[in-house]
């Protein structure tokens, strides 16, 4: 399994699948997961001749479990190192939830010289936290309750999230998948406690508004209108308006994890966008 030794000695795990000469699509995962959460999209695009790359953010999955540096500035610098190491050019970059924040800050900070298109899936930008300037956001007390639940019983909290709002399995008549729940729990528990805890602040209190405004490439925003984790009114609708070349697709009844639940539709949207 490939690892990249980063500037500070931390090791970043990544997957590099498919046609080595094909067009590149990279994936950034959500909290508190790993690159495994993208496998349905990765296998699909490989079957269409693409080279797909996905990494586990530091502290997550199989990457180094360092005690500090669980913040967006470090994450996007790690991703830039991976892009340079693999000499990635003309890529489409895709991010879900917290990973959508990573994609947005990466393009805002490091530019678009290596990227031609981007996709944000149930992504956290522009800003999750409720304030007078952002009344559609989520109260800080909600994120405080996440930290409290983690400190009390992380294993149970990481079972409650996928059983309930993440996949929308708490909705009436939802087609519940025990496999998805177990996979989420396993990925979450593989991530270090410290990274999981610190990243609650990172995904809830990082403002991506300036980044969105600066992105000079086409960006597809995919968001479910029943996203209980990152509500569309505070995220996808706003991001699409702030992006100079933003295009929004709303998934009616879609949960936070549309790429896991609406697999075929998301796969088609990704393929259509990269070939358009």
Catalytic residues: 97, 227, 256
Residue that is written with structure tokens 């498919």 in the block: 18
- Number of other residues whose CB lies within 10 A of the CB of residue 208: 27
Backbone φ and ψ of 87, nearest 5°: 50, 50
Residue that is written with structure tokens 């992380």 in the block: 154
Query: For residue 229, what are the contacts with CB-CB under 8 A and spacing of at least 6?
Result: 97, 122, 165, 166, 256
In Å, what is the CA distance from 206 to each residue of 80, 213, 246?
19, 15, 20
User: Using CA atoms, how far apart are residues 151 and 46, in angstroms rounded to an integer?
Assistant: 40
| Joined tokens for residue 36 | 């495994």
Long-range CB pairs of 36-39 (<8 Å, 24+ gap) are 36/61, 36/183, 36/187, 37/96, 37/183, 37/184, 37/187, 37/259, 37/260, 38/94, 38/96, 38/259
**Sign of the dihedral defined by the CA atoms of residues 153, 154, 156, 157, in that order:** positive
């Amino acid at each position: 399994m490939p690892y990249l030794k980063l500037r500070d000695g931390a090791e970043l795990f990544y997957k590099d699948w498919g046609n080595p000469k094909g067009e590149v699509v990279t994936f950034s995962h959500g909290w508190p997961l790993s690159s495994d959460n993208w496998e349905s999209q990765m296998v699909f695009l490989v079957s269409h001749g693409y080279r797909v790359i996905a990494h586990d953010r530091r502290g997550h999955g199989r990457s180094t479990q360092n005690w500090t540096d669980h913040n967006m500035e470090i994450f996007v610098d790690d991703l830039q190192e991976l892009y340079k190491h693999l000499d990635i050019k003309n890529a489409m970059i895709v991010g879900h939830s917290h990973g959508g924040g990573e994609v947005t800050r990466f393009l805002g900070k490091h530019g678009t010289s290596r990227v031609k298109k981007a996709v944000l899936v149930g992504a956290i930008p522009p800003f999750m936290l409720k304030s007078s300037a952002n009344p559609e956001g989520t109260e800080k007390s909600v994120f405080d309750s996440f930290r409290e639940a983690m400190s009390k019983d992380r294993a149970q909290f990481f079972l409650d999230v996928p059983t309930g709002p993440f996949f929308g399995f708490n909705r009436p008549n939802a087609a519940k998948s025990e496999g998805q729940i177990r996979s989420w729990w396993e990925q979450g528990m593989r991530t270090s406690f410290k990274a999981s805890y610190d990243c609650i602040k990172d995904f809830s209190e990082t403002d991506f508004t300036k980044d969105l405004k600066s992105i000079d490439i086409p960006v597809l925003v995919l968001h479910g209108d029943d996203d209980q984790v990152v509500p569309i009114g505070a995220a996808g609708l706003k991001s699409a308006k702030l992006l100079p070349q933003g295009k929004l697709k709303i998934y009616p009844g879609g949960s936070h994890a549309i790429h896991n639940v609406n697999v075929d539709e998301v796969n088609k949207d990704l393929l259509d966008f990269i070939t358009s």
